[in-house]
Amino acid sequence: MTRKNKLLIFGTMLIIATVGQAKAKNLKNENTAVFIEENEKEANDDIFIEFTEEKNEKAPDKNIDVVSYTNLKTNKKNKKDENKYVAFEQDNYGILAANLEELDEDYIVSSQVFELTGIKDSLEPLNRRMYAFNTQLDRKVLYPVSRVYSAVIPKPVRKGISNFYNNFKEIPTFVNSVLQLKPGKAANALGRFVVNSTAGLLGVTDVAKNIGLKSDPETMGDTLGHYGIKTGSFLILPALGPSTVRDAVGTAADTAIEGAARGVAEEKLFFDTGVFDKNVYGFTRPVVTGLNARSMFNLRYGDLNSPFEYDFVKALYYNYRKIQVAK
């Protein structure tokens, strides 16, 4: 093959390679452009907000975040600043948006949205701070101490302690079932208490469950709801967590009934026999029962990993209580 032919072949191959590379580059650019366009489309479709045709048309104060009529995650703003604005007031307890009309299900939960669910939270500022207090109390005290307690006290012993004290909850269940004219539930609660207090070794083991008498609690809050008493405002109780005004009153009544029944048993079992000193027991029992209850489950404040955990807990509690009262 002559030198001239070799050069001709080499030049032809070089041209083909160059053209092929250019086509591949163009195809890559087209694919990249399509990919970017699709991503932008997904991002813009991900979180979208529509605003009411009302107030807040002017930019709010400097100390309040301003979000224009656009995607929140990408922060892409329209070219012309002709948008209405929405003011977000954000602190450690979440975000409150005053004039949202529509919002994505996994984004901001505002007071306006909760009005649609019928959840009354007139004490929200106090509740949010109490929720924050409970969060810190659990993270720094209750959860760590309960883990140590769990490591020291075997689970069967902790379960027995829980069963012993929970057995007395059958007494308020019996009372509330009678008040609601539910004889079946009243008989079930009384049967559980008698069986577990005898065959169940003073309630340490739940023998009644094995013979078909399953726990079916009724509270004074259920009784009040049964007779049409409204829930009142949502309420966060110190250490105890979510409740309502109605349920808080009911809890106080149930605690009094349960305490009266438990007090008779404790007097006979512990104090008259000299097993426990009455004053020492009165102080240690709430601590031990509280730690024991906390050690029996691993759910922690902050597990939802969301700034709107308070709102989710509120909605969850309300719906759960609706089911309990209706059953």
Q: How do residues 36-64 score in pLDDT, each as one tens digit?
A: 444 444 433 333 333 344 444 444 444 44
pLDDT of 256: 96
Per-residue pLDDT band for 14 (boundaries 50, 70, 90) equals low
What are the domain boundaries of the chain?
50-117, 124-326
* 120 vs 14, residue with greater confidence: 120
- Residues 237 and 126: beta-carbon distance below 8 Å: no
Span 79-85, average pLDDT: 43
Q: How do residues 240-276 score in pLDDT, each as one tens digit?
A: 999 999 999 999 999 999 999 999 999 988 888 888 8
* 180 vs 68, residue with greater confidence: 180
Which of 60-74, 228-242, 264-278, 313-327 shows the highest mean pLDDT? 228-242
Q: How do residues 286-311 score in pLDDT, each as one tens digit?
A: 999 999 999 988 888 888 777 888 88
Its pTM stands at 0.64
Q: Is the pLDDT of residue 107 over 50?
A: no
**What are 137's two structure tokens?**
């109390």
Span 215-221, average pLDDT: 95
Q: How many helical (H) and strand (E) elements, i.e. helices and strands, does the chain have?
A: 12, 7
Mean of the per-residue pLDDT values for the chain? 75
Distance CA 327, CA 325 (A): 6
- Count the residues in the chain: 327
pLDDT of 5: 52
Residue 103 phi, psi (nearest 5) = -155, 155
